[in-house]
Amino acid sequence: MRFDFTPREAPKPAKMTLTLIALDRPTADFAAVFTRNALPGAPIVIGRRRLDEPTLGAIIVNNKVSNVCAPGGVEASEKICAETARLLELKPGQILPSSTGVIGWGLPVEAMIGALPSAVSTLTGGSILPAAEGIVTTDLYPKIRRADLGGGSIVGIAKGAGMIEPNMATMLVYVLTDLAVPRAELRAMLTRAVNATFNTISVDSDTSTSDTVALVSSGRVPGVDHAAFEQALTTVCRDLAEDVVRNGEGVRHVIRVQVQHAPTAELARALGKAIVNAPLFKCAVAGNDPNVGRLVQAIGKHVGAQAPSTDLSHLRLTLGGIEIFANGVFQLNPAKETALVAHLREAELYASALPKDGVFTAPISYPPHERCVEIVADLGHGTASATVLGGDLTHEYVSENADYRS
């Protein structure tokens, strides 16, 4: 496989980057899952068709403009595919297109076609880092995860920082492997891996119109154990999903909620999502304020509205390993409050700095640690469980999104 990118230029959403991932040889073994947003982008519409094609040869990605519900969007995207195919000596149906960026704008087709020859001619077989860098928009840093097994490897890259509450997929994720796994097994494994990883995260409860996870196998390394492959694939997906949250727009604390002993897996996941999506709790975490009442509010809201028959009498909550709620009442005292504040401070990625000209900005660098705000919600009434990751709600998020397009 070869990768390409054109250099990004600051500021972040200013210039479109075309990223081309080309296989040395087209493969029949590819899989993809897409957003369930009911108003999807044109590349999603095309991508769903591509799943019926016999082989895939390349993936062409642009940022800046997501090509969602733009007039003539499907035709524009197919035109890019056709030109990419011509240059790579492939058929248009062998090209998977992806777009991310502003919803509502149309692709600058002629300019993109003009840039394609240079993208093709500079394809390189080296590091995947340029591709990981090329696909970002508001991401603070590129996201790459890798697992080695059976004499080959699985390498994945992801972009996504806002509009992140994936439903059957996440923003843009490409997972590449040289391990030979047939198409049918590949697709079943990808669906399960995505469901257990990307579908359990939420940065801001918004579900993108462009979510895509694609998995491509070149098939060069035969004989891999399928169970081991699926485990490694799930690990790569889980690590990338956590990267997406840790790099979420304005995220200064990653929040990990483990819901245990729930009556169903659906309820466990929904409760985890209810907690990481509760704006007041997210703001409290941003302020290193262990306002656990807002945590209880989020659980009670979801159960009251969506699952009113649920028994909460055995509910037990811990934050940073410290029991805060049991037997129907809070279990708090001043020493615990002090310890809870310390836990929140330890999980903070960056301190919020005073804004320049009223605009808060987050530092652009890799995260200093992988710690989370750790919450366990034990319902004491069932065998199902789920782990959900989310982030806090900060001034940096508001600054980034109150003025993203300008």
Catalytic residues: 170
Neighbours of 124 (CB within 10 A): 11
Please tell me whether residue 160 binds its own copies under the rule CB under 8 A: no
Please tell me whether residue 284 binds its own copies under the rule CB under 8 A: yes
Please tell me whether residue 318 binds its own copies under the rule CB under 8 A: no
- Residues numbered 129 to 148 that lie near its own copies (CB under 8 A) are none
Question: Can you tell me which of 283, 339, 342, 376 binds its own copies, judged by CB under 8 A?
Answer: 283
Rg value, the chain, Cα: 22
Binding track, positions 211-250, relative to its own copies; x by CB under 8 A = ----------------------------------------
Question: Can you tell me which of 9, 328, 333, 335 binds its own copies, judged by CB under 8 A?
Answer: 328
Say whether 289 sits in a helix, a strand or coil. coil
Please tell me whether residue 102 binds its own copies under the rule CB under 8 A: yes
Indicate the Cα dihedral angle 179, 185, 189, 192, nearest 10°. Answer: 180
Q: Give the residue with the Cβ less far from its own copies, 233 or 319.
A: 319
Question: Can you tell me which of 196, 312, 342, 384 binds its own copies, judged by CB under 8 A?
Answer: 312
Cα 402 to Cα 398: distance, rounded to the nearest angstrom: 6
Please tell me whether residue 355 binds its own copies under the rule CB under 8 A: yes
- Written as one letter, the residue type at 180 is A
Question: Can you tell me which of 39, 111, 129, 228 binds its own copies, judged by CB under 8 A?
Answer: 39
Per-residue b or e along 360-392, where b marks 16 or more CB atoms closer than 10 Å to that residue's CB = bebeeeebeeebbbbbbbbbeebebbbbbbbbb
Please tell me whether residue 325 binds its own copies under the rule CB under 8 A: yes
Cα 388 to chain centroid distance, Å, stands at 13
Please tell me whether residue 14 binds its own copies under the rule CB under 8 A: no
Choices 83-91, 122-130, 231-239, 283-291 (CB under 8 A): range interacting with its own copies = 283-291
Cα 281 to chain centroid distance, Å, stands at 22
Residues with Cβ within 8 Å of 154's Cβ and at least 6 positions away in sequence, in order, are: 146, 147, 175, 176, 177, 179, 229, 232, 233, 236
Please tell me whether residue 376 binds its own copies under the rule CB under 8 A: no
Question: Can you tell me which of 16, 46, 70, 172 binds its own copies, judged by CB under 8 A?
Answer: 70
Question: Can you tell me which of 153, 258, 264, 297 binds its own copies, judged by CB under 8 A?
Answer: 297
DSSP 288: T
Q: Which of 293, 307, 292 is nearest to 384 (CA)?
A: 307
User: Which residue in this structure is represented by tokens 């494994």?
Assistant: 189
Please tell me whether residue 298 binds its own copies under the rule CB under 8 A: yes
Question: Can you tell me which of 15, 25, 49, 301 binds its own copies, judged by CB under 8 A?
Answer: 301
Contact 286, 394 (CB under 8 A): yes
Please tell me whether residue 173 binds its own copies under the rule CB under 8 A: no
Residues with Cβ within 8 Å of 148's Cβ and at least 6 positions away in sequence, in order, are: none
Please count the residues of this chain forming the interface with its own copies, following the rule CB under 8 A.
Answer: 75
Please tell me whether residue 176 binds its own copies under the rule CB under 8 A: no
Q: Give the residue with the Cβ less far from its own copies, 18 or 278.
A: 278
Question: Can you tell me which of 26, 43, 47, 73 binds its own copies, judged by CB under 8 A?
Answer: 73
**Least separation in angstroms between CB 329 and its own copies:** 4
Strand stretches in 263-383, DSSP E: 316-319, 322-326, 329-330, 373-378
Question: Can you tell me which of 54, 104, 114, 222 binds its own copies, judged by CB under 8 A?
Answer: 104
Please tell me whether residue 45 binds its own copies under the rule CB under 8 A: no
Please tell me whether residue 163 binds its own copies under the rule CB under 8 A: yes
Question: Can you tell me which of 87, 332, 339, 384 binds its own copies, judged by CB under 8 A?
Answer: 332
Please tell me whether residue 293 binds its own copies under the rule CB under 8 A: yes
Cα 191 to Cα 98: distance, rounded to the nearest angstrom: 19
Please tell me whether residue 205 binds its own copies under the rule CB under 8 A: yes
Q: Give the residue with the Cβ less far from its own copies, 1 or 296.
A: 296
Cα 315 to Cα 325: distance, rounded to the nearest angstrom: 7
Choices 13-21, 49-57, 290-298, 362-370 (CB under 8 A): range interacting with its own copies = 290-298
CA pseudo-torsion sign 363, 369, 375, 380: positive
Distances (CA, A) of 68 to 77, 162, 327, 354: 11, 16, 49, 36
